[in-house]
Structure 1
Amino acid sequence: MPPVETLLEGVQIFGRVDDIHKPILTRDAVAFIATLHRTFNGRRKELLQRRILRQAEIDRGVLPDFLPETKHVREDPTWQGAAPAPGLEDRRVEITGPTDRKMVVNALNSNVWTYMADFEDSNAPSWENMVNGQVNLHDAIRRQVDFKLQGKDYKLRTDRKLPTLIVRPRGWHLEEKHVVVDGEPVSGGLFDFGLYFFHNAHELVKRGAGPYFYLPKMESHLEARLWNDVFNLAQDTIGMKRGTIRATVLIETILAVFEMDEIIYELRNHSSGLNCGRWDYIFSTIKKFRQNPSFVLPDRSCVTMTVPFMDSYVKLLIKTCHRRGVHAMGGMAAQIPIKDDPKANDIAMDSVRADKLREVRAGHDGTWVAHPALASIATEIFHKFMPTPNQMFVRREDVTITRNDLLNMNVPGKITEEGIKKNIAIGLGYMEGWLRNIGCVPINYLMEDAATAEVSRSQLWQWARHGVTTAEGKKVTKEYNLALMNQVLQELSARAPKGNKFDVAARYFGTQITGEDYADFLTSLLYNEILSVGGVASKL
C-alpha cells in the first residue's frame, strides 16, 4: 500500500472525534477506508444506477425471471459454498439488535448461538451511533465492554462460551456523509465493514472465530460479486488468508430471490448461507411492483409466511442453500413479552412457537429473535426437531418453484381502515424514534425496525395510487390517507413526552402515502435530519 500520508490526502472527517473514538478512527484505519472507497465506489454507483434502470423496466411491465445468462451456474450440481466456519456450525437461534453498549452486553449474555450486531435497519445512523457501535464491538471482542448505567452493572457472563458475533453493515444504497474522500461521501457499508474488519479480524481469529457478516438489501449477484471483491482486497491488505471472512446474505428483495444460486456462487469461499428477511422482502415486493395493480396486497397482518409468494420464497431458499452446502436461516420473531397481560402474552408466545415450528419443519437451520426472552422458545422448538447442528441434509428435492410461484399475489384478506391506521401509527412511531437516533422501536409489543416502517408506508402509497376500496366501502385517496394520518398524529402526539419529533416525522411521512412521490428508502429520506456535519473537518 502507498504511505498512509498519501492515502489520507483528500480525506475529511466531519463528525466529532472524541477521545473514545480515536483508537477506532486511527490514521491507518481511515486510510484503509479510503482505499476501499477509491477502489470500489465507482462500481457501487454503477450498480445503484443499474437498480434504477431495472425499476424502469418493471414499471413498463417487464416482470423478473431467472436469468438466462447464468443458467449454467444454477444447473451445475458440482459447486458448493464454503464449509461452516468456526463458531458458525450451529446457528439455531440468533439474536439481533443495534450496537449500543447495553444491547451488546445483553445480546452476548443471551442464551443464543450468535448475535447479529446491526449497523443497518435497527440502528439510526447518526455519527455517534455508528462510531460508538464500533467502539462497543471492539471492546466486546476483547471482553472489555463491562460498564455501569444508572447504578446497574452490565457485565459479560463468564460461565459459558459467548455467542458468535456477526455484523451487519449498511446496504450499498446508504452513504456515510461524515466521511468524505476526494469530495465524495464514502459508502456506509464500506465504512461499517472496513472499520470493524481492520481492527478486529486478526483478534477474532486468534479467539477462535473470524470476521463474519450479514449483507443486506442486495438486488443482484453482481452486488454480491462486489462484496466478494471487497473481501479479497481487505484480506490481502492485512495479510489474512482469503476465505477467512464469511458472509450470510439476506434475501430481502424480490429481485434477489431469482438469483440465489448466483449470489452464493459469487461469494463461494466466503459464503455462510442465506437468510429470509421477511419484512424487507414484503417491502421490496410492494416497492418494485408499486405501479402494477395486480400486486396490491391486503392489510399487513394478512401477509403471512404461508401465503403463496412467501411460502415459495422460503422453500426455494432452503432448497438452494442446502444444495450448495450452506445455512438457510429463518426470519425474525419480533414479539416483546407482554408483562402486564398474561393472556395476551400467551397468545403472542404461541404465535412465536407456531412460527418457529413452521421454520424448523420446512428445513431452516436456525432462526432470529429480537428479544432475549424469546430465545428459550425458539431453542426448545429447534432442539426438539433439529437435534443436529444444522439440517443441510434436508435437500427439499420435493420442491419445484417457478417464476409464477414467486410472483403469486393470491393473498386472502381485506384492506381495512384499521389496517390503514396501524400502518400510519407504525410508520410515524418508527420515524419519530429514528429521528431521535433510535433505530429499533417497540410498538404494540412488537420490535419494529426500518423494514416494517417501509412495509407500512409502501402499502399506504400503493393503496392510494390504485384507489382501492376498503372493507368499509371507502375509496383510499391521497386526501383520505392524509386525514387519517392527522388523526393518528394527534393521538400519538398527545401521549408522547415533550420534545418528541412526531411533527417532523409526519412532515416526511405525509409525502410518502399519497400515491405520488416515493422515496427509494425512508432512511435515505430522513438521513439529513440526523447529520451532525460541521464546517471544519477533524484532523487525524
Structure 2
Amino acid sequence: MEISTLTIHSEKRYPQILTQQALQFLEALHGQFESMRSGLLLERASRAILYHSGVLPSKDPSTAALRNAPWQCAAAPKDLRDRRVEITGPVERKMVINALSSGANCFMADFEDSNSPTWSNCMEGQENLKGAVAGNLSYTSPEGKHYALGENTATLLVRPRGLHLEERHLRVGGKPLSASLVDFGLFFFHNAKALIEKGSGPYFYLPKLEHYLEARWWNKVFEFAQNYLSIPQGTIKATVLIETLPAVYCLDEILYELRYHSAGLNCGRWDYIFSWLKVLGRRPESLLPDRSQITMDTPMMKAYTQKVVEVCHRRGVHAMGGMAAQIPIKEDREKNALAMEKVRKDKLREVLDGHDGTWVAHPGLVSLAKEVFDTHMPGPNQIDKKLKSDMMGMQALLTPPNGSISEQGARTNINISLLYLESWLEGRGAAALYHLMEDAATAEISRMQIWQWLYHGATTKEGVRIDRNQVEKWIALEFESLAALRQPPQNLKTLTTARSLLESLVFDEVPPEFLTLRAYKLLK
C-alpha cells in the first residue's frame, strides 16, 4: 500500500488505524519535523562527546533572564488537576482495561520503555487505545475470563517513543519515520476530537528530553497537529519526564517552551540514574556503588527531585513523583508486607517533599498510594507549596552516594539484564522479575553499571578486580543458571541472543546511547 511516498513495510496493514487520512497526517508530520529531529539528535551526539571529554552539564547563560522572569504555565484542565495516583503500563489490551478501571486517577499508556516495539505491539496498541476512548474495549482470556472497562475510568495519557527511535515499518522515500511522530500522530489523529467531546483532551508524556530545544520541537509538533485538525491551540497537554541529567539544568526553559501545553514534569528516576552514568560515568570520582544503594535519600537523587518540585510549583504546574515497581506477593504474606511498607515509605517521602502525585505499576498498589496522598494532600494537588530554590545546591546533583560494589550487585545486574533483554526480544517490554515490574530503564542502569565498573577497573568489596575476564565469567555463570531453568533446550535461543547483546553493550568502548537502538534490529 502506498500513499504518496509513504509506504508500509509489513504484511499486517491494520486498516482501522493506518487509514489513508492518518497516513497523510503522518507524512505531513514527517515532512515538517524530520529534519529538525535529525538536527536535535546531532546536537545530542555533540554534547555527549563534550561530556565524555570531561565537560560538565551547566545552565545556559543566554536563558538567565527567562529563568528569573515571573511567568507561569497555562492552568491544568479539570481532569488533570488531581493526579495523585497514576498507573503506568504497556498498551497491551488487558493492561489498558485493567489500568483504566484500577481506581487510579490517570493511566499512562506506554509505547516506550515498557513496550517492546514490535509492529504488532505498536499497531494493536493504537487499536486498543482507540477502543478505550470509544468506550467499547473488551478482552476475553484464553481461559474464558472476560475483561471490560468500568463505569469510571482513569484519565488517559500516552507516552510515545523517544526522539532517538524510528519505526522501520513506515517509510517516506525509503527513510523510516520517527517513532515519536508515529505514536503521537496516530493516537492524536484518531482520538483527539473524541476525547474533547468527552470533556477530556489529548494528553501526553514526553520521554528522554535532554534540552529545551527538544521541548521546542514538541511544541511545534503540537501547534502543527492542532492546526491540522482545527483544534484550539493549547488543547494538547504534555508532561515531560525529567529522566536525563542535562534536562535538570534547563527545567525552567523546558516548561517555558511548552508553557501553553505543559502539564508539568515527572521524576523518571530510573532512567535518570542511567543518564547520570552516561554523562558522568567516565569520571573516576563518579563511580557508583551497587544499584540497591542508590536510594532516593542520597544527595544526587534528593537534589534532583527537589529541583523538579521547586521549579514546577514556581511555574504553576504539577511535579509528579516516581515509580513504585513492586508487585503484590500473594504467595508470601510476610514478604508482601515488607514490600508494601517499602512502597508506603516511598510515597510518604514524595508527598512530604511536595510532589503532586505518584506512579505505580500494578493495580494492587493504587489504594495504598492513594491512602498516603489522601492523608497528606487533602486538596487536588499542592502546587501552592513552594520550595526554596536550590535547597541542596546544584553540586549535589553531581555527588555520588557512598557505598560499595559487590559481586552480588554485579551478578544481579547481569541476571536482570539477561532476563529483561530476553523478555523484550520476545515482545514483552514489561517484565515481572523478582516481584518487580521492570522496564527498559532497569536494564539500562544495569548494563551501564557493568560498563562503568569495567571502564575504571573497579574492585569489589570482596577484593575482586572487575575486568573483561571477570565479567565474562559472571555472564557465563548467570547464563548457565538461567539456562538450567529453560526446558526444552530450544527455548535457549532468545536467551542466547540476549547474552550476545549484553556482551556487546558492556564490552564496547563506546556503548550505544540506548540499548533499544541495537536491540530493535533484532526484533522480528
TM-score by length of 2: 0.98
Structure 2: which 5+ runs fail to align? none
The residue type paired with residue 131 of structure 1 is M
Separation in structure 2 between the aligned mates of residue 517 and residue 504 of structure 1, nearest angstrom: 21
Distance 2:32 2:513 in 1: 25
Larger mean CA deviation between 341-350 and 170-179 belongs to: 341-350
Corresponding residue for residue 538 of structure 1: none
1:11 and 2:3 are equivalent in the alignment = no
TM-superposed deviation, 1:506 = 0.2
**2:100 partner amino acid:** L
Alignment partner, residue 364 of structure 2 = 373
Whether 1:297 and 2:288 are equivalent positions in the alignment is yes
Q: What is the identity, as a one-letter code, of the residue corresponding to 1:173?
A: H
Q: Does 1:529 align with 2:522?
A: yes
1:264 aligns with 2:245: no
Given that residues 159 and 204 in structure 2 are in contact (C-alpha distance below 8 angstroms), is that contact kept between their aligned partners in structure 1? yes
Secondary structure of 2:463 counterpart:
coil
Q: Percent identity?
A: 48
Secondary structure of the residue aligned to 2:205 is strand
**Unaligned stretches of 5+ residues in structure 1:** 532-540
Q: How does 1:27-426 map to 2 (within 5 A)?
A: 27-77=20-70, 79-150=71-142, 151-158=144-151, 161-397=152-388, 399-409=390-400, 411-426=401-416
1:401 CA drift (Å): 4.7
- Counterpart of 1:24? 17
1:403 CA drift (Å): 2.9
3-state SS of 1:15 partner: coil
Q: Residues 202, 497 of structure 1: CA spacing in aligned structure 2 closer, same or farther, 3 A cutoff?
A: farther
CA distance in 2, matches of 1:46, 1:204: 33
**Matched residue of 1:51: which SS?**
helix
Deviation track 1:347-401 (CA, whole Å, cap 9, x = no partner) reads 1111000000000000000000000101111000000000000000101136535
Partner Cα distance (1:417, 1:31) in 2: 54
Secondary structure of the 2:249 match is: helix
CA gap 1:398/1:183 in 2 versus in 1, 3 angstroms = closer
Deviation track 1:60-117 (CA, whole Å, cap 9, x = no partner) reads 211011110111111001x111201131010000000000101011101101000000
Are the structure 2 counterparts of residues 452 and 332 from structure 1 closer, same or farther at C-alpha, using a change threshold of 3 Å?
same
The alignment of Structure 1 onto Structure 2 pairs a total of residues equal to: 520
Matches within 5 A, 1:444-463: 444-463=434-453
CA distance in 2, matches of 1:69, 1:482: 47
The counterpart of 1:436, out of the listed 414, 426, 430, is 426
C-alpha distance in 1 between matches for 2:303 and 2:244: 14
CA contact (8 A) 1:478 1:513 kept: no
Cα separation, 1, equivalents of 2:275 and 2:507: 18
8 Å contact kept, 2:107–2:154: yes
SS in 1 for 2:79: coil
Kindly state the Cα deviation for residue 513 of structure 1 after the two structures are TM-superposed: 2.0
Shift of 1:293: 1.4
In structure 2, give the amino acid aligned to 1:137.
L
Secondary structure of the 1:313 match is helix
Q: Distance in 2 between matches of 1:177 and 1:43?
A: 19
- SS in structure 1 at match of 2:112: coil
More off after superposition, 351-360 vs 399-408: 399-408
For the residues of structure 1 that align with 2:521 and 2:52, how far apart are their CA atoms? 29
**Partner residue of 2:460?**
470
Contact 2:72 2:316 in 1 (8 A): yes
Cα distance in 2 for partners of 1:41, 1:295 equals 36
Native 8 Å contact 2:309 2:354 kept in 1: yes
Deviation string, structure 1 residues 327-358 (Cα, Å, up to 9, x no partner):
00000000011111111111111100000000
The CA distance in 2 between the partners of 1:293 and 1:241, in whole Å, is 51
Quick one: distance in 2 between partners of 1:176 and 1:271? 26
Kept after mapping to 2: 8 A contact 1:478/1:515:
no
Distance 1:61 1:273 in 2: 31
Could you tell me the TM-score, scaled by structure 1's length? 0.95
Structure 2 distance, partners of 1:451, 1:234, is 30
Deviation at 1:239, TM superposition (A): 0.3
Which residue of structure 1 lines up, in the alignment, with residue 483 of structure 2? 493
Deviation string, structure 1 residues 232-252 (Cα, Å, up to 9, x no partner) = 000000000000000000000
* C-alpha distance in structure 1 between counterparts of 2:487 and 2:210, whole Å: 40
In structure 2, the residue matched to 1:482 is 472
Report the Cα distance in structure 1 between the residues aligned to 2:263 and 2:407, rounded to whole angstroms: 43
Q: What is the distance in 2 between the residues matched to 1:231 and 1:362? A: 32
Structure 1 vs Structure 2 CA RMSD: 1.2
Partner Cα separation in structure 1 for residue 244 and residue 133 of structure 2: 32
- What is the deviation of 1:517? 4.2
